[in-house]
Amino acid sequence: MGGAQSLALPPGKGPHQVGCTDVMVGHTQQGLFFRLFYPCVPRAGAEQPLWIPRREYFSGLADVTQRGRRWFSPLASLALGSCRVPVSWNGPFKPCSRGYPLIIFSHGLGAFRTLYSSVCLELASWGFVVASLEHRDHSASTTYFCPAEPGREEWIPFQQVPQGQKEFYFRKKQIHHRAEECVRALRLLQDVSRGESVPNVLHQDFDLSVLKDSIDVTKVAAVGHSFGGVTAVLALVKEPSFRCAVALDAWMFPLEHALYPEVPRPVLFINTEKFQTPDSIARMKRLSSRNSQTKIITILGTLHQSHTDLAFLTSKLLSLIFKARGTLDPCKCLDITSRAALAFLQRHLDLEEDFSQWEKLLEGIGDSLVPGAPFSRSHL
């Protein structure tokens, strides 16, 4: 079960090579932390970043899955600790005179900024700048910030719902925190695009100033999975610059009913077969009944984790622990997801691309795809 064989993420299929870097801004918990994926200039022998960037994340995953740290962390670290993402670490940014459209990506409950590398790098390969946030509302498996004193780090652990507290109120507070982080990430990248100096606490070999005039801040979308999917929906309420959202298997539970009439922009809901409930789908339909451009589709043969990198685990044991493997090939799921998203983004960001070739996917037409939610096929 060697590390190199335990995860196999596919390279992007788009015309651009992809680079990535980590960005941390501010020395407090109120700052921001995200991994940035972007089109880059190809270079021979480029270093590829680790998929799990720090061993602390293995302990965090043990806490989230409620497995014993003593056995889970070493097992996961041994199997996955050397796995890398097929992108160029701090690779030279490829300038774009008309500006790349921007995606702010929000992770699911118990995840972190690198667990969606497959979908983020795929979108970047088609000419997007993608900021994959690591949320600091205690919903990440773990995360950290760097106080101003040199060498110090403060870790923010994953938090279960406190005993005696109603889950809805706990999650509602988190989702607002998360959506506000999405807005702040957008503001930050707007500043960078204008040429303002933004110091990166992590001192990467990547100067954010190279992004000046290369992001089209009029073409911005929010994308997320699960808790991040509903975060992306709420981001539309909080910030008019977000022109649409793509919600991968959105967990609709934390969004308060009063906000549904406030969602001003279209949403593409891409669901898996085994996660959604009739109540959750009814909430999505409330939005689609208000906006004819909001679409709901379901990919057959998929589980909730099919939208994460965990679907690409080659270790059967880890795949079982994470409930990561549906019957549909994960590359096929990624193809459907990214192409549907690209067609939707073209439509609502007014992109000058040929992504409309995949428009039929938005109606649920295609292999392993149906419109709406196939509860007759689901175990729910």
Summarize pLDDT for 58-103 with one digit per residue, the tens.
999 888 887 777 888 888 888 888 999 999 999 999 999 899 999 9
Q: Does the pLDDT of residue 1 top 50, yes or no? A: no
Architecture of domain 3-371: 3-Layer(aba) Sandwich (3.40)
Catalytic residue among 304, 307, 338, 348: 304
pLDDT of residue 380: 36
Q: Is 375 exposed, middle or buried (0-12, 13-18, 19+ CB in 10 A)?
A: middle
pLDDT, tens only, 209-257:
999 999 999 999 999 999 999 999 999 999 999 999 999 999 999 999 9
pLDDT at 4 over 70: no
Q: Which of 249, 280, 309, 348 is catalytic?
A: 249
Residue 249 annotated among the catalytic residues of the structure: yes
Distance in angstroms (rounded) separating the CA atoms of residues 97 and 215: 9
Write down the mean pLDDT value for the chain: 93
Which is more confident, 376 or 186? 186
Please say if 304 is a catalytic residue.
Answer: yes
Segment among 67-81, 126-140, 274-288 with least mean pLDDT: 67-81
Query: What helix, strand, coil percent values describe the chain, rounded to 5?
Result: 35, 20, 45
Q: Which three-class secondary structure state does DSSP give residue 331?
A: helix
Q: What pLDDT does residue 379 have?
A: 38
Average pLDDT score over residue span 177-183: 98
Q: How many residues does the chain have?
A: 380
Q: What is the CA radius of gyration of the chain?
A: 19
Catalytic residue among 118, 141, 226, 368: 226
